[in-house]
């Protein structure tokens, strides 16, 4: 009987500590204390009734303390003694201190590609003329072929210009005829007429070169072709 009295307390203590180490969630401290109390009661039963109460209390406190140091009350993988954020919800990702890992919210950024606008300003005209040169016809024929094959939905805007020689009214009409000449050629080359959304004359406004020189005036006698492949 004496041997049993000595052995049973050790077995009960080992059982209590093992039980504490397996607790992961819930009210672990009360459970540890309860186990300690049970062990203490068992110890008291092996001794005299006078020490039963003290045994229950002592083992209850011991078990609770052990659970607090070595247990993991919130089940986050960090022991209670090292857990700086106890009580984290189940399934929460935590760091080495047991605190929730900040969730970085990356806002989706949508970058819209700008419309690719192609400007052709090399279509030049002789003085006081709206007749396309052979070189310009070749340029427009190549353009029409590429548009039909690669950008059938593209939109085209045409603007004619003149140099500064002549009256504003005359140059306005001349610039319009130059824009129309380019539009007619593109349509004849197979570009859908609906694709040409604007045909305007700008007169002698918006020169690209100095009208004080013959070379500059020659560059200003032009028709610009603005192509939007995205049809925006």
Domain count, the chain: 2
Question: Does the pLDDT at position 124 exceed 70?
Answer: yes
Q: Are 63 and 124 in a shared domain?
A: no
Residues spanned by the domain of 161: 118-228
- 67's tokens: 């659970």
- What integer pLDDT is reported at residue 95 of this predicted model? 81
Q: Once rounded to an integer, what is the mean pLDDT over residues 129-155?
A: 91
Residues 212, 150 share a domain: yes
Final residue of a structural domain among 82, 107, 127: 82
Residue at 88 is within a domain: no
Judged by average pLDDT, the poorest of 16-25, 56-65, 199-208 is 16-25
198-228 pLDDT, tens digit per residue, is 999 999 999 999 999 999 999 999 999 998 8
The answer to whether residue 176 sits within a structural domain is yes
Instruction: Tell me whether residue 111 is in a domain.
Output: no
Give the global pTM: 0.51
Residues 151 and 209 in one domain: yes
Query: Per-residue confidence at 75, pLDDT binned at 50, 70, 90?
Result: confident
From 82, 108, 143, give the residue that closes a domain: 82
Residue 100 is predicted with a pLDDT of 80
Residue 137 sits in the same domain as residue 54: no
Question: Which of 66, 82, 98 is the endpoint of a domain?
Answer: 82
Residue 189 has pLDDT above 80, yes or no: yes
Whether 100 is in a domain gets the answer no
Assign 3-class secondary structure to the chain: CHHHHHHHHHHHHHHHHHHHHHCCCCCHHHHHHHHHHHHHHHHHHHCCHHHHHHHHHHHHHHHHHHHHHHCCCCCCCCCHHHCCCCCCCCCCCECCCCCECCCCCCCCCCCCCCCCCEEEEEEECCCCCCCCCHHHHHHHHHHHHHHHHHCCCCEEEEEECCCCCCCHHHHHHHHHHHHHHHHHHHHHCCCCHHHEEEEEECCCCCCCCCCCCHHHHHHHCEEEEEEECCCC
Give residue 84's Cα distance to chain centre: 33
Question: Domain holding 224: CATH number?
Answer: 3.30.1330.60
Res 16: pLDDT: 47
Return the percentage of the chain with pLDDT > 90, whole number: 40
Roughly how many angstroms between the first and final C-alpha of the chain, as a whole number?
Answer: 98
């Amino acid at each position: 009987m004496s041997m049993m009295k000595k052995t049973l307390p050790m077995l009960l203590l080992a059982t209590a500590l093992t039980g504490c180490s397996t607790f992961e969630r819930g009210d672990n401290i009360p459970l540890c204390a309860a186990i300690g109390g049970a062990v203490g009661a068992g110890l008291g039963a092996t001794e005299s009734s006078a020490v039963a109460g003290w045994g229950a209390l002592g083992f209850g406190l011991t078990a609770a303390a052990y659970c607090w140091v070595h247990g993991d009350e919130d089940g986050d993988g960090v022991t209670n003694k090292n857990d700086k954020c106890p009580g984290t919800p189940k399934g929460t990702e935590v760091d080495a201190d047991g605190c929730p890992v900040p969730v970085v919210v990356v806002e989706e950024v949508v970058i819209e590609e700008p419309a690719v606008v192609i400007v052709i300003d090399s279509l030049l005209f002789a003085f006081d003329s709206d007749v396309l040169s052979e070189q310009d016809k070749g340029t427009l024929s190549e353009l029409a072929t590429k548009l039909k094959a690669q950008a059938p939905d593209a939109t085209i805007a045409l603007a004619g210009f003149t140099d500064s020689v002549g009256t504003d009214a005359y140059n306005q009409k001349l610039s319009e005829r130059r824009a129309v000449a380019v539009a007619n050629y593109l349509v004849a080359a197979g570009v859908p007429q609906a694709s040409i959304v604007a045909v305007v004359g700008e007169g002698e406004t918006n020169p690209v070169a100095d009208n004080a020189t013959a070379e500059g005036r020659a560059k200003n006698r032009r028709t610009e072709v603005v192509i939007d492949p995205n049809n925006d």
